C-alpha cells in the first residue's frame, strides 16, 4: 500500500483528496496535517469520512511526513517550497497542488506571487502535472506541480488546435467562469454565497496569476510565445469551471475535420470526453468527477473556432488530477480510485 500524507487537510482541495484517497484501493492516508485542528480526528471535523478515515490531524512536521511514500501539498502558495527539498532528500515523492513549482522562471513567479521563491533550484526538476501532455515525464518524477483549475480547462481545450498549428497562436481568447470554491475555504466577504448569489462578475481582468501558467504551457506546445487574453469570472455556484475559448483559423480546415482531430487526440484519454459536434457542455455533468468534457463550434461558418471546455475545479482542476498524477508516479492504472460518476442533478 502507498502511504500518503496530506499537508493542509482542511481546505477544499485537502478534503477532496481525503474523499478520493479514502476509497483508493492502493493508498492508506497515514498523515493529515492541520495547525488549527491538530489532535482532532479527521472524521470528527468531516463526518462524511466516518468509517473511511481513521487519521488524526497533526502538525506539519518533517519527521511525520518522512514516513510517507508521497506527500500532497494542498496548501496556500508559498508553503510547499519550504518543505519540498527536505522531503525529497528523504525519498518522499511530492505532489504540489499550489503554484509553487508551476512556473519555470523564478523571477516571473516572484512577480506574480509577490514573494521570493525559497527553493528555486527545484523549479527545473518539477514536472508540470498535466497528464494529457506530460504523462511519460510524470511517471519518473519525484516532484510534480499540479496545474491550476483555469489552466487545466484552457490548455486541454486549446491543445489540439495549437499542436496542429490550426489557429493564430498570437491572438487567443479564454473567457472562463468559476464557482466560488475556487477561492478556497476562507472567510472572505467577496466569496460569501450571499454576496455572489444572484450576481455575476469578471475579476482580475488586468492579469490573473494563472495567466503566465497558461501562456507557458501553450507556448511549450506551440514552440513559440503565444498571445492570450484571459478573463476569469466568478459565478454563483460552488463547483465548476466553464471555459469558452476563441481562436482564429489560419487555413480552410473544416469543422468536421477539427471535430475528428479532437476525437483522435483524446481517444485514449480516459478523463477527456469530446462531445458530439454542436453540443454545449454543462458543468453539472462533470461535477464531482475527474472528467473534462468539451465541444467545438464554428459560429456561422466563420474563421473563429470556439471550444467549450468544462471541469470540476476541485477534481480535474485540483485533487482528482493530483491522484491521477500519483497513479502514474506509482505505475498504477491512471484511473485507479477515480472511477467517479458525476453527480446529477
Catalytic positions, please? 149
Residue 239 per-residue DSSP state: S
Beta bridge partners of 128: 145
Cα(17)–Cα(241) distance, rounded to whole angstroms? 18
Residue 213 makes CB contacts below 8 A (sequence gap 6+) with 99, 102, 103, 147, 148, 151
Rounded CA separation 129/93 (Å): 13
The length of the chain in residues reads 345
Nearby residues of 262 by Cβ (< 8 Å), 6 or more positions away: 160, 274, 294, 296
Q: Report residue 325: phi and psi, to 5°.
A: -65, -45
Which three cell numbers mark 11? Answer: 481546505
Cis amide prior to 345 (ω within 30 degrees): yes
DSSP code per residue over 74-104: -S-TTSHHHHHHHHHHTT-EEEE-SSTTT-S
Q: How far is CA 331 from CA 34, 146, 193, 265, 266, in A?
A: 29, 18, 41, 23, 21
Amino acid at each position: 500500500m502507498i502511504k500518503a500524507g496530506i499537508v493542509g487537510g482542511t481546505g477544499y482541495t485537502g478534503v477532496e483528496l481525503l474523499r478520493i484517497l479514502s476509497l483508493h484501493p492502493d493508498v492508506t492516508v497515514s498523515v493529515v496535517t492541520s495547525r488549527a485542528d491538530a489532535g482532532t480526528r479527521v472524521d470528527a471535523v468531516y463526518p462524511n469520512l466516518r468509517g473511511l478515515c481513521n487519521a488524526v490531524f497533526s502538525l506539519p512536521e518533517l519527521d511525520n511526513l518522512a514516513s510517507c511514500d508521497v506527500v500532497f501539498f494542498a496548501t496556500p502558495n508559498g508553503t510547499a517550497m519550504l518543505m519540498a527539498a527536505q522531503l525529497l532528500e528523504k525519498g518522499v515523492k511530492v505532489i504540489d497542488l499550489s503554484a509553487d513549482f508551476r512556473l519555470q522562471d523564478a523571477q516571473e513567479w516572484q512577480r506574480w506571487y509577490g514573494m521570493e521563491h525559497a527553493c528555486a533550484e527545484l523549479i527545473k526538476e518539477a514536472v508540470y502535472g498535466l497528464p494529457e501532455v506530460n504523462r511519460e515525464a510524470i511517471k519518473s518524477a519525484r516532484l510534480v506541480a499540479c496545474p491550476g483549475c483555469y489552466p487545466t480547462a484552457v490548455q486541454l481545450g486549446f491543445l489540439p488546435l495549437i499542436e496542429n498549428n490550426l489557429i493564430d497562436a498570437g491572438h487567443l481568447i479564454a473567457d472562463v467562469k468559476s464557482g466560488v470554491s475556487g477561492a478556497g475555504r476562507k472567510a472572505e466577504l467577496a466569496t460569501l454565497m450571499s454576496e455572489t448569489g444572484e450576481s455575476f462578475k469578471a475579476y482580475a481582468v488586468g492579469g490573473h496569476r494563472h495567466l503566465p501558467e497558461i501562456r507557458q504551457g501553450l507556448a511549450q506546445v506551440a514552440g513559440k510565445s503565444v498571445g492570450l487574453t484571459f478573463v476569469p469570472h466568478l459565478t454563483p455556484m460552488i463547483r465548476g469551471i466553464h471555459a469558452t475559448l476563441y481562436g482564429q483559423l489560419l487555413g480552410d480546415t473544416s469543422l468536421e475535420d477539427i471535430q475528428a482531430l479532437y476525437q483522435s487526440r483524446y481517444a485514449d484519454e480516459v478523463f477527456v470526453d469530446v462531445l458530439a459536434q454542436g453540443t454545449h457542455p454543462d458543468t453539472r455533468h462533470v461535477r464531482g468527477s475527474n472528467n473534462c468534457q468539451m465541444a467545438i463550434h464554428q459560429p456561422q461558418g466563420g474563421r473563429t473556432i470556439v471550444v467549450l471546455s468544462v471541469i470540476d475545479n476541485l477534481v480535474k482542476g485540483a485533487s482528482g488530477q493530483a491522484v491521477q498524477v500519483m497513479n502514474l508516479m506509482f505505475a498504477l492504472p491512471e484511473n485507479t480510485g477515480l472511477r467517479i460518476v458525476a453527480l446529477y442533478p
